[in-house]
Structure 1
Amino acid sequence: MKFWRWLVILALYAVPVAVFFTVGVVVVWRSGRCWWLWWLAPLCWIAAYLLTRTWRKQLAPPAETGFVSPGHWTPRDGEAWHVVESHRRHVEDIAPGQLTDPHFYLQSAMDLALAVARHYHPKAKDPIGSLTVLDLLAAAQLAIEDSAQWCRQYVPASHLLTVDQWRTLGKTPAWLSAASNVTWAATVLMNPLNFGRYLIARFTTQAATQQLREHALGWFYLYFVSQVGFYLIEMNSGRLRGGAARYRRLQADLQRTADPPVGNEATSAAVTPEPPAEPLAVRIALVGQVKAGKSSLVNALLGRQQAAVDVLPQTKQVQQYELRVNATEDRLVLLDTAGYSDAGATPEQMREMQEAVRGADLVLLVMDAASPARRADVKLLGELSAWLEANLHRKPAPVLGVLTHLDQLRPTLEWTPPYAWREPSRPKEHNIAAAVAYTRQQFGTQLAEVVPVCTDVARGRAWGAYEELLPAMLGVLGEARACALLRTLHAELDAHRVQVLFQQLGRASTGLLRAGLAKLLDAPT
């Protein structure tokens, strides 16, 4: 809906009032030469009525929105929003009288709560049966806090007027209507020609005002459904189980991921949000086939020879390294996993990689650019996708495809970086672009981006780790941070579940003992 349409209609109603106040009602009454001003209002009202009828569809509240899901939402949360959108579409079927009934809003909230609950818990029989007490209390606290903030910002005199005064203001439309009728009766008695203006005002302004009122209520209803739906999703996802204060901290940390930095240089404090008090550990898992170049890639990123590259990576433990980047205060933890063969990963290797990837916030799938054998890589991502589908509460970590061994692409003897492979002009640049396109075709949307690099430091052929890969990693760092924050939140809730239970039992027992002792001491002897 174009906002200027509302402005045009409101201006047509406001212009007569402004003119009357400017010229003065007394002057208009006494001057016979200004009789035409009396008909300015009816003409504007007729124009406003006709435009309201013409723009009815454009002025009506839209059933669909350009809603962009928050970065911390999982695919299941995004599907739950479709449930909310389906309830929004019913706004056209709602009678105008229902939009002013508080019981209707309560029933709508309960119906939406049941639909969202059944999306997360298909066997749910009521909206709250599958939730914890902390979920409900945290949602109530957040809703009350948001309502108080909204009233303070947008409701005039909400901090001054009492409830009784608001009830009195509710009768204002009736008083204004009575005063308007008395005024019209007086003007008609003084000048019978004003009866025509009265008829025009009655059949134009009332109809247009009623339609605008219905549209405004429709907008409020859509806002109500959206806000309720958002908190229902947050509540059913389990993110409120840590309490309202913990959720607010999560939101504050997620807000810092809205504009992730790009590049490997320090950014000014004027454009970079203030980092959290404690740096966040973002886990980056490197997976790939044997001899794909994972360890060499770790060395290139770290800037020193730290990973063993002279033997096949067949260790049973995932090696961890910390990468420091000036563009972020976060701790980037590299997880170098064991390589798997072209025939596929063994059960033990798959178990180790699954543990690393399940705890990772960003995955680097390392592949040999000169080797078209990708069956094992496709199978690995397929099995990881199947695990994510079975664990819908987890947010999928972004996956970057990293093509190594660029020096082995034709012409193999040429090595004159940098290579403008996005706009190729040289033979090697064309081959790099073809390798990237082939990889994108193989994996499709499973890869957020495909980055070509070369990390053969021993032969002096190193390019792309900082020029191509690191900017790509920082480009998806916001999504990775959201994964890390959610992973940390769920880990806290799971780790302290039993501990909190015993603390609650201890406090309850202590309270009962104190109450019992106090009763015995106060009992008459």
Structure 2
Amino acid sequence: MAIGMVIPFMILAGFGTVALVQQGYSLEFLGLITGCTVLVYGVFWFWSRQHKTDFSLEADAALVIASADWSEFDNEVWRQLNQGISNQLTEPLAWDGLVEQGLVLMQQTAQHYGKAPYSFTVPESLKLIEEISRRYRILLKDNVPMIEKLTIGHFKYGFEQKQNLAKGSQVYRYASYLYRALRLVNPVSAVAAEVRKVVFDEFIKRIGAESQVRLKRALMQEVVSVSIDLYSGRFSVDDADLGQSRAALVDQQRPVLELEPLRVGLVGQVSAGKSSLVNALSLDLAAEVDLLPTTQAARVYSCRIEGHDALHLIDLPGLDGQAKTTELLVQEIQQCDLIIWVLKASQPSRQLDLDFQRALTAYYQADKQRSRKRPPILALLNQVDLLNPVEHWQPPYDLNQPDSAKAKTINEALAYNRELLGFANLLPLSVSAQREHFNLPAVHQQLDHYYSQGLQTQLNRRRQEGRGNVNLSEQWSRLGRAGKSLFGVMANSATPPDRHR
């Protein structure tokens, strides 16, 4: 078939060349081909120079991504080591050098976590190799065409025949030179073919080099990813080996359940309105709520969705500045998956909140806890109805374009507390039993928004504890049960609520 296609093409090229010479257009035709080829090559050369760095840095990042349940410290280690990988790949790196570089990356990861190099057990080392291989195998199948057709025998044959292949390539090169010399009999065709060859070879060379950079980067990123899991302590436990957390056992005081509820802790100063918020949420959502027995000072309210214990609202003791209370609250919060920080709008002093914020940050920055994922925080500026002028309470209020003294006061209070405490997401709220509620639906939306993050925090927490057996797939099925959000399901629950007072 190739011969049948080439012979007519060569005959046609010959007739075309004769016609160009006879008509006197050979030089013009040569100039046209050369100009077009140089133009195309110039555009490609300019584009490759402008996008070479962007391609190797940004396109590769999508191949291997950070784990969603990593802590802030884990993500920082990931960023730093990825920067080192980028610096390493600025110079050509042979494939056989990746083994040594992978060991260096593992040692650097160990240093970040204050561990000695290779401080893992034999089973962990075997599992580490298995996990890196598993992840990279999936990546190759997704990104390398025909990878399933390349056998180890092909590579083995290539290495064994390396010298013969080198001699063969040299013979091919000499034959190519001879053919190109003979082709000069037709100068127009020869020049055009040479220009096309330069463009094609450069394109193939560029694509081949960039593809290798991507795959090398991805392999080193997989090594870093697994090493972070290893030295942070979560790698020794499979998802299938996870058990219920200690907090769930304390909350329920009954036989172990397969599904574990999302634990939402309420933090704030005394009289900030945490209990009122629990009442308002349960009443407004028509949820089945039970007060669970607990051995701690916190009160745990269980919210059931379609018969499942899906949400625990943890009413924690108020901030009072006492060291004992602070220690208790820190221990409770590290067992929570989501935090609602309640601020009393009319409370002028925020020192207790600032002190506890520092204590909480210090806890998660400690060496033993830095791989524990910090629960997301939803901050609420509660009791905004008590802000001046107190008598002017006529919700709702448009805080984007405040047109009343009350709305302006609320905006000022929000700005002050955002700047003081650094809460990017701070919602105004009023759930007073004597007055009309304000902005409670926005709280529902934010809880829905943070729900998936809370599940990731729970997964991290359970990996830290890691014992027993549990099926985590049910955790994620709750997100889309009946095509509804968490609070959409709660609001449409058909079971009559057992409301607490």
Q: Shorter-chain-normalised TM-score: which range? A: 0.7 to 0.9
**Counterpart Cα distance in 1 of 2:296 and 2:205:** 73
User: Structure 1 length as normaliser, TM-score?
Assistant: 0.70
Q: Which residue of structure 1 lines up, in the alignment, with residue 489 of structure 2?
A: none
CA contact (8 A) 1:399 1:448 kept: no
**What residue identity is the alignment partner of 2:86?**
R
CA contact (8 A) 1:134 1:243 kept: no
Q: Which residue of structure 2 lines up, in the alignment, with residue 502 of structure 1?
A: none
Is 1:114 aligned to residue 103 of structure 2? Answer: no
1:70-97 Cα shifts (integer Å, max 9, x gaps)? 43111211221133223223246524xx
Q: CA deviation at 1:387?
A: 0.9
Q: Which residue of structure 2 lines up, in the alignment, with residue 318 of structure 1?
A: 298
**What residue identity is the alignment partner of 1:365?**
W
3-state SS of paired residue (1:454): coil
CA contact (8 A) 1:402 1:453 kept: yes
User: Structure 2 length as normaliser, TM-score?
Assistant: 0.73
Which is further off, 154-163 or 69-78?
154-163
1:30 corresponds, among 10, 15, 20, to: 15
Q: Using a 3 Å threshold, how does the CA distance of structure 1 residues 187 and 108 change in structure 2: closer, same or farther?
A: closer
Q: Which residue of structure 1 lines up, in the alignment, with residue 153 of structure 2?
A: 164
Q: Which residue of structure 2 lines up, in the alignment, with residue 224 of structure 1?
A: 219
In structure 2, stretches of 5+ residues that fail to align are: 244-256, 470-501
1:296 corresponds, among 276, 286, 294, to: 276
Q: Using a 3 Å threshold, how does the CA distance of structure 1 residues 133 and 41 change in structure 2: closer, same or farther?
A: farther
**Counterpart Cα distance in 1 of 2:352 and 2:290:** 23
Q: CA deviation at 1:406?
A: 2.1
Q: CA deviation at 1:448?
A: 4.7
Q: Which residue of structure 2 lines up, in the alignment, with residue 428 of structure 1?
A: 406
Q: Which residue of structure 2 lines up, in the alignment, with residue 474 of structure 1?
A: 448
Q: Using a 3 Å threshold, how does the CA distance of structure 1 residues 301 and 34 change in structure 2: closer, same or farther?
A: farther
1:272-328 Cα shifts (integer Å, max 9, x gaps)? xxxxx96442111112122111111111111189899xxxxxx962110123579xx
3-state SS of paired residue (2:437): strand
Q: CA deviation at 1:417?
A: 2.2
3-state SS of paired residue (2:131): helix
Count of aligned positions:
427
Q: Using a 3 Å threshold, how does the CA distance of structure 1 residues 47 and 369 change in structure 2: closer, same or farther?
A: same
1:389-448 Cα shifts (integer Å, max 9, x gaps)? 11202111112222222221223223332222233222222222222111101101xx35
* Aligned pairs (5 A) from 1:286-365: 286-303=266-283, 317-324=297-304, 331-341=310-320, 344=321, 346-365=322-341
1:89 corresponds, among 77, 83, 86, to: 86
Q: Which residue of structure 2 lines up, in the alignment, with residue 509 of structure 1?
A: none
3-state SS of paired residue (2:447): helix
Is 1:408 aligned to residue 401 of structure 2? Answer: no
Q: Which residue of structure 1 lines up, in the alignment, with residue 49 of structure 2?
A: 57
Q: CA deviation at 1:367?
A: 1.7
**Counterpart Cα distance in 1 of 2:408 and 2:305:** 31
**What residue identity is the alignment partner of 2:385?**
D
**Counterpart Cα distance in 2 of 1:155 and 1:372:** 62
Which is further off, 190-199 or 278-287?
190-199
**Counterpart Cα distance in 1 of 2:385 and 2:228:** 49
* Aligned pairs (5 A) from 1:50-449: 50-51=42-43, 53-62=45-54, 64-65=57-58, 69-91=66-88, 93-95=90-92, 98-99=93-94, 102-121=95-114, 124=116, 126=117, 128=118, 130-166=119-155, 182=175, 185-186=178-179, 188-189=181-182, 191-194=184-187, 196=191, 210=205, 213-243=208-238, 279-303=259-283, 317-324=297-304, 331-341=310-320, 344=321, 346-390=322-366, 391-444=369-422, 447-449=423-425
Cα RMSD after superposing both structures: 3.9
Q: CA deviation at 1:116?
A: 1.2
**Counterpart Cα distance in 1 of 2:427 and 2:349:** 18
Q: Which residue of structure 1 lines up, in the alignment, with residue 462 of structure 2?
A: 488
3-state SS of paired residue (1:60): helix
3-state SS of paired residue (1:473): helix
CA contact (8 A) 2:289 2:303 kept: no
Q: Using a 3 Å threshold, how does the CA distance of structure 1 residues 400 and 173 change in structure 2: closer, same or farther?
A: farther
**Counterpart Cα distance in 2 of 1:70 and 1:413:** 50
Which is further off, 378-387 or 199-208?
199-208
Q: Using a 3 Å threshold, how does the CA distance of structure 1 residues 163 and 69 change in structure 2: closer, same or farther?
A: closer
CA contact (8 A) 2:69 2:457 kept: yes
Q: Which residue of structure 2 lines up, in the alignment, with residue 452 of structure 1?
A: 428
Which is further off, 67-76 or 290-299?
67-76
In structure 1, stretches of 5+ residues that fail to align are: 1-19, 250-276, 309-314, 497-525
1:1-30 Cα shifts (integer Å, max 9, x gaps)? xxxxxxxxxxxxxxxxxxx98993331123
**Counterpart Cα distance in 2 of 1:371 and 1:225:** 52
**Counterpart Cα distance in 2 of 1:188 and 1:173:** 23
3-state SS of paired residue (1:378): helix
**Counterpart Cα distance in 1 of 2:204 and 2:237:** 47
**What residue identity is the alignment partner of 1:478?**
S
CA contact (8 A) 1:28 1:34 kept: no
1:189-230 Cα shifts (integer Å, max 9, x gaps)? 365344656765677665665455444433333333323222
3-state SS of paired residue (1:463): coil
Q: Using a 3 Å threshold, how does the CA distance of structure 1 residues 175 and 115 change in structure 2: closer, same or farther?
A: same
Q: Which residue of structure 2 lines up, in the alignment, with residue 261 of structure 1?
A: none
